[in-house]
Amino acid sequence: MTSVEETGVLAGDERMLIDGELQHTAGGATFDVINPATEQVAGQATDGTVDDMARAVGAARRAFDETDWSRDLEFRYHCLTQLHEAFERNKERLRRILITEVGCPVKVTGSQIESPIDEVRHWAEHGRAFEYLVDNGVHDTPLGPARRKIHYEPVGVVGAITPWNVPFYLNVAETVPALMAGNTVVLKPAQLTPWSGSEYGRIVAEETDIPAGVFNVVVGNANEVGAALSADPRVDMITFTGSTATGRAILAAGAATVKKTLLELGGKSAHIVLDDADFSMALPMAALMACVMSGQSCILPSRILLPRSRYDEGIAIMAAMMENFAVGDPWDPANMQGPQISQTQREKVLGLVTNAVADGARLVTGGGVPEHLPVGYYTQPTLLADVDPDSQIAQEEVFGPVLAVIPYDTDEQAIAIANNSIYGLSGEVSGGDLERAFRVATRMRTGNVTINGKSHFGIGSPFGGTKQSGLGYRNGAEGFKEYLDAKTIGLPDQ
């Protein structure tokens, strides 16, 4: 954990990394980075342009086409081992930057700092051990027997566009496996959290042997900069985590060149609490998970489905948890909920709560700004009951500490309500009869399900969404293969 001497706001590197050089944009323009816990300017970041993005893509294209990066596995392993060690050395600086620009409570930064650093070593080892050439055996053909081999090859230039909610983690998750697979990368971090990207670039430039052009970071405050990356014909693949609306735009931008696209998009996950569940275990945790990270999590089970026979009991348990949840200064280890990322985001969250009440939902607790926190973009943990499954609050991703509770009468009805969504990223089932809970989980149209608190998420297991929650997978063997093309080669059997 961070020492007292290392607490407090910290500005990250202003510069971006293009073709091995840490630099400002040509005109010298910058934009402010706001600390959401204080509403104050914490520092600046260079305001990169479409021209800067074009130069970065050109550098990545050249590095892929003209260097041995894609072919030299041992050198890639060496560089990513260096990167892991460098991240370890810079860990507390990265933590301070994360808390400054995101407002993530220090108590829960492990998943956003230690976990991605560990993942660098994982992908280095996984990529080194991966079989890039697989013998697929001898096959009969009209022209005689043919041996077929599958050669896994890097896709080429990968553009990574990342969000603000878990910026350092996703900057790593979307780029390190791509690099280890032999690709070159251009990273475009979110406007609200540029330093988690620019610090990554600084560390690569100053503390690793990763060649110029192999890894680039373009920081900019205009949406056009990310859009230029998506549309550039020199980019072979886009990986993106963020809203479904932006994901659709990225798909459209890449359509002209039929780019490979890996998308992790929005979610409106449901938690089906069966009537034989241990409410004293399941529901306090459900309330806690809505508040940690200020509800700014794509996999958050924000729809709680309670059996009508135990409905009031469940509401009371969650209300008690949320009314006593510690919200405040992210540097105070007693707090597990910090601010929303921005005033705009807080206004969106509170506006959706207001609309929900107007639509007939019952406000059990929360729904406003904590009285003891007049400064900072804080939101009260909020519990809404009697929610219509078709209402806006039950269908739209809130990205705030808000739970919508929906009653049901039968397992069939609960499954139907859970599947009543354009999203399918995550989900949860709680129940005493494990076989029954498993049957319910298998019928939920979602990419991932947790049963009785046993998380589905981990570096060794594929993670991806169904419906409008995404395309493709991160993590696991499937996640590494996303950054590779499979070439089948037929040759004479010898």
Please, what is the average pLDDT of the chain? 96
- 64's CB contacts (< 8 A; 6+ apart) are 70, 154, 156, 157, 183, 184
Three-state SS sequence of the chain: CCCHHHCCCCCCCCCEEECCEEECCCCCCEEEEEECCCCEEEEEEECCCHHHHHHHHHHHHHHHHHCCCCCCHHHHHHHHHHHHHHHHHCHHHHHHHHHHHHCCCHHHHHHCCHHHHHHHHHHHHHHHHCCCEEEEEEECCCCCCEEEEEEEEECCEEEEECCCCCHHHHHHHHHHHHHHCCCEEEEECCCCCCHHHHHHHHHHHHHCCCCCCCEEECCCCCHHHHHHHHHCCCCCEEEEECCHHHHHHHHHHHHCCCCEEEEECCCCEEEEECCCCCHHHHHHHHHHHHHHHHHCCCCCEEEEEEEHHHHHHHHHHHHHHHHCCCECCCCCCCCCECCCCCHHHHHHHHHHHHHHHHCCCEEEECCCCCCCCCCCCCCCCEEEECCCCCCHHHHCCCCCCEEEEEEECCHHHHHHHHCCCCEECCEEEECCCHHHHHHHHHHCCCCCCEECCECCCCCCCCECCEECCEECCECHHHHHHCCEEEEEEEEECC
Contact between residue 88 and residue 114 where contact means Cβ atoms under 8 Å apart: no
pLDDT for 9: 75
Which domains are seen in the chain, by residue range? Answer: 16-265+469-490 (3.40.605.10), 270-451 (3.40.309.10)
Predicted pLDDT at 4? 37
The pLDDT tens digits for 132-144 are 999 999 999 998 9
Of 489, 493, 462, residue with least CA distance to 478: 462
d(CA 289, CA 83): 31
**pTM metric for this prediction:** 0.95
Closest C-alpha to 293, from 109, 451, 64: 109
To the nearest 10°, the Cα dihedral for 161, 163, 167, 172?
-30
Question: What is residue 494's predicted lDDT score, i.e. its pLDDT?
Answer: 74
pLDDT at 454: 92
Angle between helices 279-291 and 311-323 (to 10 degrees): 40
The predicted pLDDT at position 2 comes to 38
Dist. CA 418–CA 432, nearest whole Å:
19
**Cβ atoms 355, 402 nearer than 8 A:** no
Listed as ranges, residues in the chain with pLDDT below 50 are 1-5
Closest of 170, 384, 392 to residue 265, by C-alpha: 170
Any idea which residues carry the catalytic annotation?
264
Residue 41: HSE in the Cβ half-sphere, 13 Å Cα cutoff: 6
> Per-residue pLDDT tens for 369-398?
999 999 999 999 999 999 999 999 999 999
Please tell me the distance from the alpha carbon of residue 35 to that of residue 352, in angstroms, as a whole number.
Answer: 24
